[in-house]
Amino acid sequence: MIATMSFHRILPGLLLIMALAAPAAAQQPTSVNPTASSVKEKQLLEALKPNSGDTLSGRVSIPDKRAGDLIQPGGTEFREFHEKTLGRIGIIAIPGMLALLVMFYFIRGRVPIEGGPSGQTIVRFGWMSRFVHWLTATSFLALGLSGLNLVFGKSILLPVIGASAFSWLSQLGKFVHNYVSFAFALGIILMFVMWVKDNLPALRDIRWIAQAGGLLGIGHPPADRFNAGQKLMFWSTIVGGAALSVSGYIMMFRPASLAMSAFQLATVVHGVTGLVLVAIIAAHIYIGSVGMEGAFAAMGKGKVDLNWAKSHHSIWVDKVAKNRPQDISQNTAGGRAPAPAE
């Protein structure tokens, strides 16, 4: 009798464990008083933790089965991330990078072409390469701006332009973000296919990185078609772009097979990768425009000055001279005599 008494006392807890352990609980006692076993939310939430499930769910009689998710504690962490962590990462990454670039400009100035422009050009990127570059670049710009608006617009733009104008702008931004993403994803795939063979790591990349690509003025390390810096740029774009695309499409299409935490994780990955990639691309834009003399021509006209190519891509120039000499233009009037290759 005493034994049964104490059994009854622990019964609610036992039942809870058995109910959660599901099919294993075959031999349930028949004398159960259901009104006495109150199911506490706290207990259920604690029992949830070790399990893979991230929502406390039950059965609903309506067709939307997601409505069966009673409580999802992960929402609190998502909020914490979104409110605090994401903003902090953004404030460090983007203004930080801009400050770095401005500082760099004042210290190093515009990196000139070694030996000055030769007047001779060498074909660097074909039409298709430039098309794919600008496809990815313009779509990234649209995605980056609309994405930043979603993270920082509330605190920066909203107080300035007012709620309804900001809502209109953000609505437009959301549509742009969703649909332009397809052009960006296509650009990432095409870029990967086009340039991966020239971006595989090589031993000479170590030397290039050790000498900081000649920026510090201790001689210019040799490089093939792409130097180590450009390879890093390539791989950040590919890896970052892939992460952004995958996490973005998870958020956009919200496949029913994924748990709530998967969507929350996708937003975390998307936010962090997006901010970091915006910072990296800011550096890329700087070095490709004001930061370095002669660099923009590669993606502008597709032809670069021979002296620029010789200092940054000496091995590549030699290869082109040997295999496709027609890609190097003859000396034009007005240009200086080409400096001898180092």
Partner 1 sequence: MTSFIAAVLAVIGISVGASMLLETQQRTADAAYTTTGARVDLDPRLNGAPAPKH
Partner 2 sequence: MARMKFLCDADRCIECNACVTACKNENDVPWGINRRRVVTINDGKPGERSVSMACMHCSDAPCAAVCPVDCFYTTEDAVVLHSKELCIGCGYCFYACPFGAPQYPKQANFGSRGKMDKCTYCAGGPEADNSKEEYAAYGSNRLSEGKLPLCAEMCSTKALLAGDGQIIAQIYKERVAKRGYGSGAWGWKTAYKEDIAT
Chain residues binding partner 1 by CB under 8 A are 62-64, 127, 130-135, 137-139, 142, 175-176, 178-180, 182-183, 186, 300, 302
Which residue type does 109 have?
A: G
Rounded Cα–Cα distance for residues 187 and 176 (Å): 16
76 touches, from partner 1, partner 2, none (C-beta below 5 to 8 Å by class): partner 2
Q: Residue numbers of the site for partner 2 (CB under 8 A)?
A: 12, 15-16, 19, 28, 32, 34-42, 44, 55-64, 66-73, 75-76, 78-79, 82-83, 149-151, 153-154, 158, 163-164, 166-167, 170-171, 174-175, 178-179, 251-254, 260, 263-264, 267
Looking at beta carbons only, is 237 or 307 nearer to partner 1? 237
Radius of gyration for the alpha carbons in the chain, expressed in angstroms and rounded: 30
C-alpha 99, offset from chain centre: 21
Looking at beta carbons only, is 255 or 340 nearer to partner 2? 255
SS3 at position 128: helix
Q: Write down the least CB distance from residue 180 to partner 1, Å.
A: 5
Rounded Cα–Cα distance for residues 124 and 154 (Å): 43
Instruction: Give Dmax over CA atoms of the chain in angstroms.
Output: 112
82 touches, from partner 1, partner 2, none (C-beta below 5 to 8 Å by class): partner 2
Looking at beta carbons only, is 164 or 323 nearer to partner 2? 164
Q: State the residue for tokens 């036992």.
A: 14
Rounded Cα–Cα distance for residues 258 and 301 (Å): 46
Q: Write down the least CB distance from residue 341 to partner 1, Å.
A: 29
73 touches, from partner 1, partner 2, none (C-beta below 5 to 8 Å by class): partner 2
Whole-Å CA distances, 55 to 113, 258, 279: 60, 12, 35
In the structure encoding, which two tokens stand for residue 231, read together? Answer: 């390879």
Q: How many CB atoms lie within 10 A of CB 199?
A: 21
Q: Write down the least CB distance from residue 163 to partner 2, Å.
A: 6
154 touches, from partner 1, partner 2, none (C-beta below 5 to 8 Å by class): partner 2
Question: Are 257 and 250 a contacting pair, CB within 8 Å?
Answer: no
Q: Write down the least CB distance from residue 176 to partner 2, Å.
A: 10
Q: Write down the least CB distance from residue 3 to partner 2, Å.
A: 20
Please state whether beta strands 69-71 and 303-305 pair in parallel, antiparallel, or not at all (unpaired). unpaired
Q: Write down the least CB distance from residue 246 to partner 2, Å.
A: 15
Looking at beta carbons only, is 168 or 182 nearer to partner 1? 182
180 touches, from partner 1, partner 2, none (C-beta below 5 to 8 Å by class): partner 1
127 touches, from partner 2, partner 1, none (C-beta below 5 to 8 Å by class): partner 1
Looking at beta carbons only, is 40 or 110 nearer to partner 2? 40
By the 10 Å C-beta count (0-12 exposed, 13-18 middle, 19+ buried), 188 is classed as buried
Bridge partner list, 69: 57
Whole-Å CA distances, 101 to 97, 148, 206, 229, 287: 6, 20, 24, 16, 9
